[in-house]
Amino acid sequence: MELRVAVEKNFGRFLLNADLSVRGKRIGIFGPSGGGKSTLVGLIAGLSRPDRGIITLDGETLFDSSSGINVRTEDRRMGMVFQRPSLFPHLNVKGNLLYGYKRCAPENRKIVFDDVVEVLNIGRLLDSGVKKLSGGEKQRVAIGRAVLGNPRLLLLDEPLSALDDSLKFQIVPFLKNACEAFGIPYLFISHSLLEIRIMTDQVLNVVNGRIVGQTTAEALVRSRMGDSMAGYMNLLQLSAPRQVDALYSYAWGGQQLFTASGDDRPEGLFELSSTDIMLFKSHPEAISARNLLKCRVVGTFQAGNRVGVDLECNGDGRLVAEVVRQAADELGIRAGAEVYAAIKSTAFRKLG
Amino acid sequence: MKNIICSLFLVLAVLVSCVVPAHAGEVNISTAASMRDAVNELSDAFAKKTPGVTFQKNFGASGAVAKQIENGAPADLYISANVKWMDYLKEKKLVVAASISIIAYNEVVFVGKPGLKVTSLKDVVDLEKIAIGSPKSVPAGQYAMEALQKAGIDKQLENKLVMARDVRECLLYADRGEVNGAFVYRTDAVEMAKNVKILFAVPQELYSRVTYPAALTIAGSKKADAAALLKFFQSSEAKVILEKHSFVTK
Amino acid sequence: MLGFTNADYSAILLSVKVATVATLLSLPFAFAVAYLMTYRRFRGRIALDVAVNLPLTLPPVVIGYLLLMLLGQQGLVGKLLLQPLGIKLIFTWKAAVIATSVVGFPLMVRSIRTAMEAIDERLVQVSRLLGAAMLDRIITVILPLSIRGIIAGSVLMFARGLGEFGATVIVAGNIPGVTQTIPLAIYEYASSPKGDVMALSLCAISICISVVVLVFHEYLGRRIVRRD
């Protein structure tokens, strides 16, 4: 998918002036609330009209003020999922799902009903009215409805923001799987760095109506590490839990990790802050932390007055720790060095 | 805010009390609509002879007017185009029986556009729409209906008769061309018709004679001016005025 | 029953017929106007709003008179359009339908507009994103979601139509069997001495019809709520 946008729109007190060119399947749009993210996406979808500019998708011009081209929303073949599901109250779940599908030209119908229902696990809801569904169910149906429209580009405007945390990370796999399975490129808007990291590869940073940066998700997160008290959030996919005494023992990257929280589900997503990883130059003989990992420093990066440390732990586990500059100098932390990382079991937070 | 509300109430009170009270020397006349112009001229003539007297006039279909009097509308003198409505009020003891006297007669005619080929009741059957005063309350309509029934064509004219409130309205419809013709009094046709003319007179043998009884109401009998006015209506001077308006006085 | 004449039965049937036809005839136009006012910006919007609401503030007699001037023999539409085509509207039941439609139109438009304005704009946007063109989304989204307003508006117009007198009497006249609706029949009886019993009987019929209509409206309302 290739998207080029160069538009301007004046809202009186707010001026949107965006210039971007992206290529890829998982694009993020990040920025503070009120900064213009939703507005920008609304212009791309055709829901509102720029004062001036040009929008092209995969080479097709959707809007060009100089030649008067303005393709109608209904002809742009874009799907959109909003913060609130906005399901049609007068149709049941099946009716909602098929709304876009029916209006898709037969030759474009690559994504079909049964597949979507299966991926999103909404089979038993099909005959139900939409009022009785739970928040998560409604959002899954909304995703299914957008996907079944067989869009060329899926616009996701803070689709997880209205859900509570546990629900958020239940929906995330559905969303990822749906888009991956059906090969749909998407623009994912969020003000949450975590969601951006999970869902996107490249990120456009939108502040005050302008695109102030275009980086990879990873680079964005790392650059913000210095500004945030929470540091860099390591996202770890842990599996095969066992209960050992009062703790859970999960498998990760060829080794065992002990966490204070957990459940019986075979897989779990955990976050671990870089600020919670303590580094030792040599093996501490006795330590209260239940996790002690022998790691090799792959590299370091600057983030404000902190230093981020890329660690490789025993095989394929990768972690990012952070220390202040003096500490990095004192311990001689540089690429190739060997360190020990100590992590308390309580430092792991289960996401979903 | 309070000031505004107070002033509004004051204005309302003033308006309400501004009802002009009836004062001595005022006579209320309720008459059949067909007598409008004649009664106006008659009352003007009377006023010249009797200074200080003023009139409140109410014109309408005799039946409707009788109903108003029954319901308490102020009236001193009642003139009907029909003996029936006068008898109705007589029964209800709303008029002074002894004062009832016939002051004029009229004829029913059929009017229409000058070029219309209608010369008798038979021709009327072929028209599309005909205006007639509602027989339920307009004597002109009752007389016309009586004639239609006697001539045996009332069933054929079902769905073609447009009911009017009074004779004036009949003429209006005919004048405007919304109906092909109308049954009206000769007096009205002569005076008021602009674009239509009398095509034929309904044969008198088909309907009872149009009679105008006049009487004092109970309220009117207490007023000297009202009684004097009624007497004036019976005078020869009045007869001259009535005949001028095409009424028949014998 | 109750001593009704043929003309009286005609009046009852005619009232129902005129009110029903006026309601059905006005529906598509009222829906279109409500849609334009809710979803479109255009010059002359205010003028349209005023024109549509005018009958609400004008005495029905004025409306009747204006219609007469427009559609009668000497009227603009009458002279230029109706007479050449041989169409006669004045003093026919069609004129009664027109008078009723004009008088009730603002009521219907208001009802439908209220319902339309309550529709979440997001739903219409979603339907566009899913590929629905204008007519499509009107039929599949806007119409079903404004059905409550449409029904309420229809009931209002029907009830108003049953009671229409002022405009009707001028433009359709009082022709028993042809244009004499219940209100006109009652008026005639009420002007006639000894007509009180008949007038009251017709009033009773009028009330019965209104009650039936209101009960039906309630029932429809409940059914829709249950379906939701």
Q: For residue C93, is it within any domain?
A: yes
Give the model confidence (pLDDT) of A287-336 as tens digits. 898 899 999 999 998 887 889 999 998 777 899 999 998 988 888 888 88
- Phi, psi (degrees; rounded to nearest 5) at B166: -160, 180
- CATH code of C124's domain: 1.10.3720.10
Q: For residue C50, is it within any domain?
A: yes
Give the model confidence (pLDDT) of A45-63 as tens digits. 999 999 999 999 999 999 9
Q: Which 3 state secondary structure label does DSSP give A27?
A: strand
Taking CB atoms and an 8 Å cutoff, what residues of chain A touch C128?
A: 46-47, 72-74
Helix, strand, coil percentages, rounded to 5, for chain C:
80, 0, 20
- Distance from C-alpha of A240 to C-alpha of A250, rounded to nearest angstrom: 6
Structure confidence at residue C228 (pLDDT) = 53
Structure confidence at residue C217 (pLDDT) = 84
Domain limits of chain B? Answer: 15-105+211-244, 108-201
Average pLDDT, chain C: 89
B114-129 average pLDDT score: 90
Say yes or no: C174 contacts chain B, CB-CB below 8 A.
yes
- Distance from C-alpha of B94 to C-alpha of B91, rounded to nearest angstrom: 8
**Architecture in CATH of B108-201:** 3-Layer(aba) Sandwich (3.40)
- Distance from C-alpha of C227 to C-alpha of C151, rounded to nearest angstrom: 15
Give the model confidence (pLDDT) of A134-191 as tens digits. 988 999 999 999 999 999 999 999 999 888 887 888 888 888 888 888 889 999 999 8
Structure confidence at residue A222 (pLDDT) = 85
Does the pLDDT value for residue B1 go beyond 80?
Answer: no
Ordered structural domains, chain A, with CATH: 2-225 (3.40.50.300), 233-350 (2.40.50.100)
Taking CB atoms and an 8 Å cutoff, what residues of chain C touch A41?
A: none
Structure confidence at residue B18 (pLDDT) = 63
Query: β-strands B181-185, B130-133: how paired?
Result: parallel
Q: Which 3 state secondary structure label does DSSP give A87?
A: coil
Q: How far is C156 from chain B (nearest CA, A)?
A: 29
Say yes or no: C130 contacts chain A, CB-CB below 8 A.
yes
**pLDDT category, C119, cuts 50, 70, 90?**
very high
Structure confidence at residue B20 (pLDDT) = 54
Q: Do the chains B and A touch each other, judged by at least 3 C-beta pairs below 8 angstroms? A: no
Say yes or no: C140 contacts chain B, CB-CB below 8 A.
no
Residue C46 belongs to what domain range? 6-227
Say yes or no: A145 contacts chain C, CB-CB below 8 A.
yes
The tally of domains found in chain C comes to 1
Does the pLDDT value for residue C226 go beyond 80?
Answer: no
In B, minimum Cα distance to C189 occurs at B136
B232-246 average pLDDT score: 91
Largest CA distance in chain C: 69
Q: Which 3 state secondary structure label does DSSP give A78?
A: strand
Does the pLDDT value for residue B106 go beyond 80?
Answer: yes
pLDDT more than 70, % of chain A:
100
Nearby residues of A278 by Cβ (< 8 Å), 6 or more positions away: A289, A341, A342, A343
Structural tokens at position A266: 């075979």
Structure confidence at residue B22 (pLDDT) = 54
Closest CA to A280 of A338, A319, A233, A226: A338
Give the model confidence (pLDDT) of A195-244 as tens digits. 898 899 999 999 998 999 899 988 888 888 877 778 888 988 888 889 88
Q: Do the chains B and C touch each other, judged by at least 3 C-beta pairs below 8 angstroms? A: yes
- Distance from C-alpha of A157 to C-alpha of A29, rounded to nearest angstrom: 9
Nearby residues of C98 by Cβ (< 8 Å), 6 or more positions away: C22, C67, C71, C89, C171
Taking CB atoms and an 8 Å cutoff, what residues of chain B touch C72?
A: 176-178
B51-63 average pLDDT score: 89
Q: For residue C1, is it within any domain?
A: no
Say yes or no: C189 contacts chain B, CB-CB below 8 A.
yes
Closest CA to C175 of A352, B163, A275: B163
Q: What is the ipTM of this complex?
A: 0.83
Taking CB atoms and an 8 Å cutoff, what residues of chain C touch B129?
A: 91, 175
- Distance from C-alpha of A336 to C-alpha of A30, rounded to nearest angstrom: 34
Among the partner-chain residues C73, C188, C193, the one whose CB lies closest to the CB of B163 is: C188
Does the pLDDT value for residue A89 go beyond 60?
Answer: yes
Does the pLDDT value for residue A266 go beyond 70?
Answer: yes
Taking CB atoms and an 8 Å cutoff, what residues of chain C touch A74?
A: 128-133, 136
Class of domain B15-105+211-244: alpha beta
B159-169 average pLDDT score: 88
Cβ of B85 within 8 Å of Cβ of C188? The answer is: no
Q: How far is C148 from chain B (nearest CA, A)?
A: 39
Q: For residue C53, is it within any domain?
A: yes
Structure confidence at residue A175 (pLDDT) = 85
Q: CA separation (Å) from C69 to A173, A252, B34, C84, C101?
A: 71, 90, 26, 17, 17
Taking CB atoms and an 8 Å cutoff, what residues of chain C touch B67?
A: 190-193
Neighbours of chain A (3+ CB pairs under 8 A): C
Note the Cα B137 to chain centre separation in Å: 11
Q: CA separation (Å) from A318 to A297, A298, A309, B198, C217?
A: 10, 9, 10, 113, 68
**pLDDT category, C116, cuts 50, 70, 90?**
very high
Does the pLDDT value for residue B21 go beyond 60?
Answer: no
Give the model confidence (pLDDT) of A327-351 as tens digits. 888 888 888 889 999 999 999 998 8
Does the pLDDT value for residue C138 go beyond 80?
Answer: yes
Query: Given this chain, do its domains B15-105+211-244 and B108-201 carry the same CATH topology?
Result: yes
Cβ-in-10-Å burial (0-12, 13-18, 19+) of A240 comes to: exposed
Least trusted range by pLDDT, from A84-93, C21-30, C65-74, C139-148: C65-74
Cβ of C191 within 8 Å of Cβ of B173? The answer is: no
Least trusted range by pLDDT, from A73-82, B139-148, C82-91, C146-155: C82-91
- Determine the residue among C122, C129, C142 to mutate to test chain A binding: the one whose Cβ has the most chain A Cβ atoms within 10 Å: C129
Structure confidence at residue A101 (pLDDT) = 94
Q: How far is C4 from chain B (nearest CA, A)?
A: 15
Give the model confidence (pLDDT) of C167-224 as tens digits. 998 889 888 888 899 999 998 888 887 788 889 999 999 999 989 988 988 888 787 7
Dihedral of the CA atoms A280, A284, A287, A290 (nearest 10)? 70
Least trusted range by pLDDT, from A9-18, A164-173, B178-187, B224-233: A164-173
Average pLDDT, chain A: 90
- Distance from C-alpha of B101 to C-alpha of B164, rounded to nearest angstrom: 28
Structure confidence at residue C149 (pLDDT) = 92
Say yes or no: C74 contacts chain B, CB-CB below 8 A.
yes
Does the pLDDT value for residue B25 go beyond 80?
Answer: no
In B, minimum Cα distance to C10 occurs at B159
